[in-house]
Amino acid sequence: MKNSFLLVAFSLLLSTSVFAFQDMKDIQIEVIPVNENIYMLKGAGGNIGVSIGEDGVFMIDDQYAQMSSKIEEAIKSLSDQPVKYLVNTHHHGDHTGGNSNFEKKETLIFAHENVRKRLKEDDKNTEQSGLPIITFYHKMQLHLNGDDILVVHVHNAHTDGDALIYFPNSNVLHTGDTFFNGMFPYIDLKSGGSVAGDIEAARAGLLLINASTKIIPGHGPLASYADYEKYLNMLEGIQTNVNAAIKEGKSREEILADESLTKDYITDAAAEKSFINGPKIRGTYYDSLKSED
């Protein structure tokens, strides 16, 4: 008890926003069964994927540091084993914030080389802790819990370090933030993301799976093949519309203000309170597509 209090106090010191921390105090982890031995954990930050079995607990992403003990508690309800392996789908803090805590418990952390690079270069990581110790460039496989887990890099999509994780036997795909289910995408252009790459990532993901695959998106509810296809359709449709507007000579301001470019997919009113609203996504598309020509 004393230890977890110290951990919480320490996290509070590290937290850049005390308010964000206080908000998280009340957030519980929801455990959602996906298929066979795979579960999705919802809390604060990106959706976690967990594979349970006799080889140990394999986890995909770990939300924020303040959530680590709650995540461990939730996993305890599924398995008596510790988290042995952890893969980060990309470097963002809502997917890697718990790395240092799990590292202390001897969890082995894997990620794309660029994820390690970005976490290492993060000025806030003065202790250089929680860095992935096994990295890959293209793909890797883990043969665990009766599955041949495929971890495959998709280039310059949401960031420059994204990975899709596919469990062929359980028929589950974790997309990381290359898929925001029911929302506009977030494409982090400053971290090497691009519209073209994000579209390619969704195409690659859809090629890996089949109509009955269950999909854990980076954010939003558990998804079906149809949801994922609809998302790709939106990514491509906005690309066509914004490209046409650029060709017509529309300025960035005009594109930002033009709801007709995106409203067939999500209206500005529906996205008003979202992290990525209508003007934001139109701006991202403009900046990314402009830099491609």
Interaction site with Zn ion (CB under 5 A): 46, 92, 94, 177, 218
Q: What is the DSSP letter of 169?
A: T
Choice between 176 and 278, CB closer to Zn ion = 176
Kindly report the backbone phi and psi dihedral angles of residue 32, in degrees, each rounded to the nearest multiple of 5, phi listed first: -115, 115
Please tell me whether residue 33 adopts helix, strand or coil conformation: strand
Q: Compute the least distance from the CB of residue 211 to Zn ion, in Å.
A: 26
Q: How far is the CB of 90 from Zn ion (least distance, A)?
A: 6
Q: 89: how many CB neighbours lie within 10 A of its CB?
A: 30
Q: Which is nearer to Zn ion, 56 or 217 (CB)?
A: 217
Which residue from 184, 188, 199 is spatially nearest to 271, judged by alpha carbons?
184
The token pair that represents 288 in the structure block: 């990314």
To the nearest whole angstrom, how small is the minimum distance from the Cβ of residue 248 to Zn ion? 32
Cβ proximity to Zn ion, 102 vs 245, nearer residue? 102
Whole-number Å distance between alpha carbons of 46 and 216? 10
Q: Is the Cα torsion angle 164, 212, 218, 101 positive or negative in sign? A: negative
Q: Positive or negative CA dihedral for 242, 224, 202, 153?
A: positive
**Distance between CA atoms of residues 75 and 168, nearest Å:** 22
Q: How far is CA 75 from CA 130, 163, 223, in A?
A: 20, 23, 22
Q: Which residue has the tokens 């994780």?
A: 165
Q: How far is the CB of 77 from Zn ion (least distance, A)?
A: 24
Closer Cβ to Zn ion, 92 or 153, answer by number? 92
d(CA 245, CA 224): 32
CB nearer to Zn ion: give 155 or 263: 155
CB of 46 to Zn ion, least distance (A): 4
Q: How far is the CB of 254 from Zn ion (least distance, A)?
A: 29
Q: Which is nearer to Zn ion, 94 or 198 (CB)?
A: 94
Nearer to Zn ion, 161 or 283 (CB): 161
Q: How far is the CB of 274 from Zn ion (least distance, A)?
A: 13
Spatial separation of the C-alpha atoms in residues 281 and 174, rounded to whole Å: 23
